[in-house]
């Protein structure tokens, strides 16, 4: 389609320019307000993204329109890598949250690490081991409701499946009704259950992947 013709999608494997860091951080602060990363300082977010880029288990993709980043996605082979691969930043992140009185975020981190948030997940609904985890996905508000998010996600999944590793399914945790609607109605995800959080419970969603169909 014509509206997608001037879009460029790429995986960041080496480094981001200062301009690119600024553009991604702006989207994070505006669109991912429920995420841990949005509660961090700009300097810490920059270090977080640098760590993600260096990791072999985490994948950072950007969506550009006329050389301007309008969206990004952060995915990982397994959700556990979101803790393991950021060990070097753990103390700095926790210190920042404590000094800035981010009590709700700290409690939510505790629940995630101790697996207390899994008490609402029945055994029959456990996520398969070979599932790609979509940790973060956001589009600049000016470019939302144009199909860019769906287009971006589909292209990212195709690229990982074709060039990185094979996965049977993809999971995500949606914090708002709008994000739940995006995955359920526009991207054919299925509802699993809830994860406990202090303010907004997370909706766990999953999409099974047909390898041949995805790559067509």
**Domains of the chain, CATH where assigned:** 2-214 (3.40.630.30)
pLDDT at 191: 94
| 115, pLDDT greater than 80 | no
Per-residue pLDDT band for 123 (boundaries 50, 70, 90) equals very low
The per-residue pLDDT for range 151-175, each reduced to its tens digit, is 999 999 999 999 888 899 999 999 9
Cβ atoms of 81 and 58 closer than 8 Å: yes
Q: State both tokens at 105.
A: 């975020």
Per-residue pLDDT band for 120 (boundaries 50, 70, 90) equals low
pLDDT at 180: 96
Task: Using the Cα atoms of residue 44, residue 46, residue 52 and residue 54 in order, give the sign of their dihedral.
Answer: negative
Supply the mean pLDDT for the chain.
90
Q: Which run of H or of E encompasses 157?
A: helix 148-163
DSSP state for residue 89 in the 8-state scheme: G
For strands 169-174 and 131-139, give the pairing: parallel
Weakest mean pLDDT among 57-71, 103-117, 143-157, 175-189: 103-117
CA 102 – CA 141 distance, rounded (Å): 25
């Amino acid at each position: 389609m014509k509206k997608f013709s001037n879009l460029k999608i790429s995986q960041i494997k080496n480094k981001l320019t200062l301009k690119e860091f600024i553009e991604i951080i702006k989207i994070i602060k505006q669109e991912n307000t429920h995420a841990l990363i949005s509660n961090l300082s700009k300097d810490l977010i920059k270090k977080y993204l640098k760590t993600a880029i260096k990791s072999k288990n985490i994948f950072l993709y950007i969506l550009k329109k006329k050389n301007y980043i309008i969206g990004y996605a952060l995915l990982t082979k397994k959700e556990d890598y979101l803790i393991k691969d950021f060990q070097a930043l753990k103390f700095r992140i926790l210190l920042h949250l404590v000094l800035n009185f981010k009590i709700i975020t700290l409690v939510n981190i505790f629940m995630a690490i101790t697996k207390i948030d899994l008490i609402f997940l029945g055994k029959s609904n456990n996520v398969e081991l070979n599932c790609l985890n979509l940790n973060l996905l956001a589009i600049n508000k000016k470019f939302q409701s144009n199909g860019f998010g769906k287009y971006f996600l589909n292209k990212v999944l195709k690229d990982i499946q074709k060039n990185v590793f094979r996965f049977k399914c993809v999971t995500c945790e949606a914090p708002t009704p709008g994000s739940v609607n995006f995955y359920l109605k526009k991207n054919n995800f299925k509802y699993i259950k809830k994860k406990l959080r202090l303010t907004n419970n997370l909706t766990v969603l999953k999409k099974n992947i047909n390898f041949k169909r995805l790559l067509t």
